Amino acid sequence: MTTRGEEPPGPSGLPVVGNVYQFASDPLSFYEEVAREYGPVARYRLGGTEFYQLSDPELVERVLVHRNDGFDKGSEYRRILSPVIGNGLLISEGEFWRRQRHRMEPAFHPEALAEYAPTIVEHTERLLSDWEDDTVRDVHADMMQLTVEIAARTLFDVDIRDYEADISDALEAVMDRSERRLERPITVPDAVPTPGNRRYNRALSTLYAIAAEIVESHDGDGDDVVSRLLRAKSRVEGLDDEQIRDEVVTLLLAGHETTALALTYTLYLLATNPEQADRLGAELDENVNRGPPSRDVIEELPYTKRTLREGMRVYPPVQSVIREATEPIELGGYELSEGTVVTVQQWVLHRDPRFYESPESFRPERWTDGFRDSLPRFAYFPFGGGPRRCIGENFAKQEMRLVLATIARDWEFDAVTDELSLSPSITLRPDGAVKVRVGRR
C-alpha cells in the first residue's frame, strides 16, 4: 500500500544542518542505527539534502535493476566527483555514458583479461621482492602502489612508476576532499585559497598533467583504452582530449583504489584469523606448487575465491551507493518525487544478521554454493548492480585472486594494527596505515 503524502520515519535533526553531526561522528554506525531503528525505508538530512535510505534487498534491486531508468547518479554524486573526473564514465549519463562504456568494454573482455594475467603476477612478484622476513609492512600502501601500477600497464599500456609518488599524494588529497564534501554538504568553495584548497588544487593539477601525458604518449594504434578512445575522437561529439584525460583519471581512481582496499582488508583479516589463513595456505600449497599462479589455476581455488568474497562482505570497498530519482516513483510504500536522493549501503546489508550468522566474523567457509543460492540477490553487492554495475568487475576479481594467491603462497601475516579505523567517503578507506608483520611460510 502506498502511503501518499507521508515521509518515511527517521532520526530527528537540527535546523539547517539536519543530521550532519550524528553522521559525521561515525557514518557507518549511523547507517546501521537508521536501518535498525527506522526500517527498510528511512529518511535523514545532511545540510540541505534529504536522503532516503533503503535497507531491503528487494528495494535495492528495484532501484539498481528494475527501475534503473528512473534514477541517475544525481547531483550529490556529481557535486563530490565532477571536480575531479569531469564527465568521466563513473558519473556520465544517458547516451554519452552508453557509448563510452561500449568503447571501453573490450578492455575488460575475457580475451583481454587472459592477456593481463601474467602482467598482474609479474608486478606482484616485483613488489614482493622488496619484502623481508619478519618485517612490518603497511599493506594498504603496498596494495595502492601495486594496483595503480597494474591499472596503468594493463589499461593504458604505460609504466607509471616514475609518477608513483606524485600520483599517490594526489589521490590521497583528492579522496580526503571527497570525504569532507560527503560529511559537510556546506563547504568552502575550491577557489578560496585555504591550505586544504591549495593542496587539493595542486593534487588536481598533478593528476591532470599525468593523465594528459599518458594520453599524449599514445598514437591511437594500440588496443588499450586510451588508444581506443583516440581512434573514436574524430567521429564522436563530446569526445576530445580533455574528455579522454577525464576517463584516464576516472580509471586511475576507480580502477585501482577499490581493488587495493579489498586486498588490504583481506590481508588484514587473514592476519587476525590464523585458522582461515592456514586453510588458504593449504589450498595454495596443493595447487600452486610454488610456481607463479595462472589464470587457469585461480579458477580452481575455491577457498581463495571465498576468502576474497568474505573480505568484501566484512569490509566492502564501496560502502554505499547514491542515486537520484529522475521521475516520481513508488518505493516501499512511499511516493518519491523527482529529485529525491536514495542511498543504499553495502555496509548495512553485508552485515545484516537476517542473512549472515555472526555477521562481524570473518568466515570464508560460509560461502558454499547452497549459501550463495539462498541469499537475496542484493544482500551482497560489492560491485553494485544493474546497467551501472562496475565495468571492471571481472578484471578486479581476476586481479585480486592472482595477487592474493601470489602473496599468500609464500607469506604469512600477523596484525600489528590492533583495530581498523575506517574513513568512509566515496570508498571505505582506512584512517591511517594498516600494519602487518610479514614472514616467509
Q: What is the pLDDT of residue 318?
A: 94
Q: Which residues, 6 or more positions from 126, have their beta carbon under 8 angstroms from its beta carbon?
A: none
Residue 5 reports pLDDT greater than 60: no
User: What is the average per-residue pLDDT within 353-369?
Assistant: 97
User: What is the average per-residue pLDDT within 386-404?
Assistant: 96
Tens digits of residue pLDDT in 400-425: 999 999 999 999 999 999 999 998 88
Domain range for residue 418?
Answer: 100-318+382-440
Q: Look at the chain and report how many structural domains it folds into.
A: 1
The whole-angstrom separation of Cα 67 and Cα 234 is 35
Position 16 in a domain: no
- The pLDDT confidence band at residue 222, using thresholds 50, 70 and 90, is confident
Position 168 in a domain: yes
Q: Please report the sign of the dihedral spanned by the C-alpha atoms of residue 112, residue 114, residue 115, residue 117.
A: positive
Residue 184 reports pLDDT greater than 80: no
Q: What is the CATH number of the domain that holds 199?
A: 1.10.630.10
User: What is the average per-residue pLDDT within 181-192?
Assistant: 62
Q: What is the pLDDT of residue 62?
A: 97
Q: What is the mean pLDDT of the chain?
A: 91
Q: What is the pLDDT of residue 2?
A: 45
Of 63-67, 140-144, 291-295, 312-316, least confident by mean pLDDT is: 291-295
Residue 3 reports pLDDT greater than 60: no
Q: Which residue has the cell 591511437?
A: 220
Position 411 in a domain: yes
Q: What is the pLDDT of residue 185?
A: 53
Q: What is the pLDDT of residue 188?
A: 62
Residue 94: which H helix or E strand, with range? helix 94-104
Q: What is the pLDDT of residue 181?
A: 66
Residue 1 reports pLDDT greater than 50: no
Position 31 in a domain: no
**DSSP calls for 13-40:** -BTTTBTHHHHHH-HHHHHHHHHHHH-S
- The pLDDT confidence band at residue 75, using thresholds 50, 70 and 90, is confident
Q: What is the pLDDT of residue 409?
A: 94
Position 355 in a domain: no
pTM: 0.94
